[in-house]
Amino acid sequence: MEVICKFCNSKHVDVLRKIQSPYSEEKYTLYECRNCKQRFFRMDESENSSDILKKLYDSQAEKNKNVYGLEFTPSKYWKNEVKEITELHLGKIHSICDIGCRTGDFLMHWPNRVERVGVELSEYASGVAQQRGIHVVRDFVENASFDHPFDVVSCYALLEHLEQPKLVLDTFSRICSQGGVLVILVPAFDTWKQHKIWKNENERWHMYSPPEHLNFYTKEWLVEYLSADFELLHYKYTTGGMVNLFRGIPLLSRIGGRLMWMWDVTRFTNQKPVFDHLYLYFRRK
Ligand SMILES: [Zn+2]
């Protein structure tokens, strides 16, 4: 069967390696497009993909029921995001739309005077967000209609999950107001961390988790694809709070956590493609 690149429709697609799904016995082929350099898995490689995902998301919702109550704990990562976006936006921020808002944790970090809207498919997560006072649209964002565009549009950790990523990428310019800020977070494979893990065939980069994660982007492609309507303002590669070399060792763990935090928030270090969480900040033209 001929595989066509889901990003640029090129027929020149290379097979890189079979990757073991962490959620089933199956392996999925990891492809890389020779033309646009993006990587992807195909949902339809296994007829079980949809069932696997349903089970996965049901079990995550079940786990979240124990973790997420209605009370909300501020996190320094989200606080830093609010600061970063506020500094990049030239005007006053009146409204924000978070696509894939989960339980509304990020939106809760914005003051009440900002109109906060979330888009979320999960019944459980959107229910929590709603009870927290967030207005939630329970639909695919490409189907959602809003009566006005937003000063800030955010899309954290969503684009890697989509069967047809362009449907969502193409909604950004409709939802984001002129001069508004768009933020995207994706796993980044063109980084020291992924390349280091790739060298050992027996190891699996945790982001290569088909059929949960299907798409892997480069910064260059996203910037180019969005360039008709958006200009890049800033980017950073962070640990996502996931890396601590000294985890579990009391005092060292605290020092390690602090060092990683410094790495993540310092512009000199976080602009190097070392760690695998890529944040891109754009301004709508
Ligand atoms: Zn391509």
Exposure class string for 14-31: b at 16+ Cβ within 10 A, else e: eeeeebebebbebebbbb
Arithmetic mean of pLDDT over the chain: 93
Distance 6 CA to ligand 1 centre (A): 7
Question: Do residues 37 and 221 lie in contact, with contact meaning Cβ atoms separated by under 8 Å?
Answer: yes
> Higher pLDDT residue, 66 or 137?
137
Q: Residue 44: what pLDDT?
A: 94
Report whether pLDDT(277) > 90.
yes
Report whether pLDDT(127) > 70.
yes
Name the fold adopted by 72-284: Rossmann fold (3.40.50)
Q: Residue 155: what pLDDT?
A: 98
pLDDT, tens digit, 9 for 90 and up, residues 10-29: 999 999 999 999 999 999 99
Distance 3 CA to ligand 1 centre (A): 11
Percentage of the chain exceeding pLDDT 70: 97
CA angle centred on 154, ends 244 and 196, rounded to 5°: 35
User: Residue 201 to residues 187, 213, 217: CA-CA distances in angstroms?
Assistant: 20, 19, 21
Q: Residue 96: what pLDDT?
A: 98
Q: pLDDT band for 1, please (50, 70, 90 cuts).
A: confident
Report whether pLDDT(170) > 90.
yes
Distance 84 CA to ligand 1 centre (A): 31
State how far Cα 91 lies from the chain centre. Answer: 25
Distance 7 CA to ligand 1 centre (A): 5
Q: Residue 65: what pLDDT?
A: 76
pLDDT, tens digit, 9 for 90 and up, residues 30-40: 999 999 999 99
Q: At 232, list the tokens.
A: 């890049």
Near ion ligand 1, which residues have CB within 5 Å? 5, 7-8, 10, 33, 35-36
Report whether pLDDT(45) > 80.
yes
User: What's the mean pLDDT in 165-174?
Assistant: 96
Distance 8 CA to ligand 1 centre (A): 4
Q: How many CA atoms lie within 13 A of 167 on its CB side?
A: 12
pLDDT, tens digit, 9 for 90 and up, residues 179-209: 999 999 999 999 999 999 999 999 999 999 9
Distance 108 CA to ligand 1 centre (A): 37
Q: Residue 273: what pLDDT?
A: 96
* Structural domain spans, the chain: 72-284
Q: Residue 132: what pLDDT?
A: 92
Helices (H), the chain: 49-67, 76-88, 123-131, 165-169, 172-175, 192-198, 219-225, 250-265, 267-270
Distance 124 CA to ligand 1 centre (A): 35
Q: At 235, list the tokens.
A: 């980017």
Q: Residue 64: what pLDDT?
A: 76
Q: Residue 197: what pLDDT?
A: 96
* Long-range Cβ contacts of 220-229 (<8 Å, 24+ apart): 220/37, 221/7, 221/36, 221/37, 221/38, 222/184, 222/186, 222/280, 223/280, 225/7, 225/169, 226/169, 226/172, 226/182, 226/282, 228/173, 229/172, 229/173, 229/284, 229/285
Q: Residue 68: what pLDDT?
A: 64
Token pair 């390696």 in the structure block, residue: 17
User: What's the mean pLDDT in 61-85?
Assistant: 84
Distance 36 CA to ligand 1 centre (A): 4
Distance 49 CA to ligand 1 centre (A): 23
DSSP state of 217: B
Report whether pLDDT(243) > 70.
no
